[in-house]
Structure 1
Amino acid sequence: MRLDAAQRRAVLGHPAGWIASGFGSGFSPFASGTAGSAVAVLLWLPLSGCPLPVYLAGLVAAFALGVWASHVVVKRLGLEDPGVIVWDEFVGQWITLLPLLALPLHWGWIAAAFFLFRLFDVWKPWPVSWADRSVEGGLGVMLDDVLAGVYAALVLGLALYALS
């Protein structure tokens, strides 16, 4: 769903809108979730050298920030999980990339992480589908993508283990 001018102003008229929209990447006219995931990967590159405890603390903070920002945007638009919100894709993608933290950067594995997250985010196996249908507000926006990220990270981790 494309937003009209008034809705765009409602999103961008509050700092939460900039965060929830992934710094504007959620306004992509085509596949906003994929655009958000791609931006998340680019932002992950400099973060990939963080120690695991710092990275995990950052994930928790990003999740909490996303719940708040998504809640604000959902209320301002009166829509449940509008496509412009892509901060959930950021956090889900960063969860998916967790198994790569201990490895040297390798574009093949980064691409695999990107595609695995998109697959689980679109496919929505249980409990991702349950969270998507049953949990409302900012938490609901964030939770299904976190669960999709966990699934994708597990598959990526198993692939890394099997191929090492």
Structure 2
Amino acid sequence: MQLESKIGAAFDSLKKLIATLFFTGYAPLAPATVGSALVAVIYFFLFSSLEVVGWILVLTTVFFVGVYTAQGMEREWGKDPGRVVIDEAVGYLVTVAFLPHSLGLAIAGFFVFRILDIAKPPPARQLERLPGGWGIVVDDVVAGVYGNLLLRVGVELGVF
């Protein structure tokens, strides 16, 4: 029984590590912004050269892991806890997915995503009401889709 208890505690710690994006969710000021900045750096150095299949795998995995860990932490910490910032990872990655690799786009994606995540354009605000981890993550996906479309316009206009 002790082994099961230790495994359960280790699994809970792993969920917290993921849900808080390596504990950036504990930042005293703007944890969502700090978490988004971390993901932007990870994207630029690790994910920016992904092909279509790689992007699909990354987005799908991060989305479902995000929903699962956010839901687990919501049960422990209450409705849509500010420490949970895995949703920022999902939203930012959707914002920059399938776009050309450039530092300018990575930085623009960070600012565009943060603005849209805060503004919550329709239907993001309404989707926040979904139960559990779904409501925590899906609104960020919507912000990410809007952000991706805006960045695509910028690419087409030659801004990036």
TM-score class, shorter-chain normalisation, is 0.7 to 0.9
Q: Distance in 2 between matches of 1:142 and 1:106?
A: 26
Aligned mate of 1:127, from 115, 123, 130: 123
The corresponding residue for 1:156 is: 151
Question: Identity over aligned residues, as a percent?
Answer: 32
Paired position in structure 2 for 1:17: 16
Residue ranges of structure 1 left out of the alignment (5+ in a row): 1-9
* Contact 1:91/1:145, CA 8 A, preserved across alignment: yes
Q: CA deviation at 1:111?
A: 1.2
The answer on whether the counterparts of 1:26 and 1:84 sit within 8 Å (CA) in structure 2 is yes
Deviation, 1:98, is 1.4
Q: What letter is aligned with 2:57?
A: A
Q: Deviations over 1:74-130 (max 9, x none)?
A: 0112x1111100100001001111143xx2x43222211110000100000110111
Find the counterpart in structure 1 of residue 63 from structure 2.
Answer: 63
Counterpart contact for 1:99–1:157, Cα < 8 Å? no
With over 3 angstroms needed to count, the CA separation of the structure-2 counterparts of 1:162 and 1:36, relative to structure 1, is same
Which residue is equivalent to 1:110?
A: 106
Whole-angstrom CA distance in 2 between matches of 1:140 and 1:32: 18
Gaps of 5+ in 2: 1-8
Distance 2:53 2:154 in 1: 23
How much has 1:14 moved relative to structure 2? Answer: 2.8
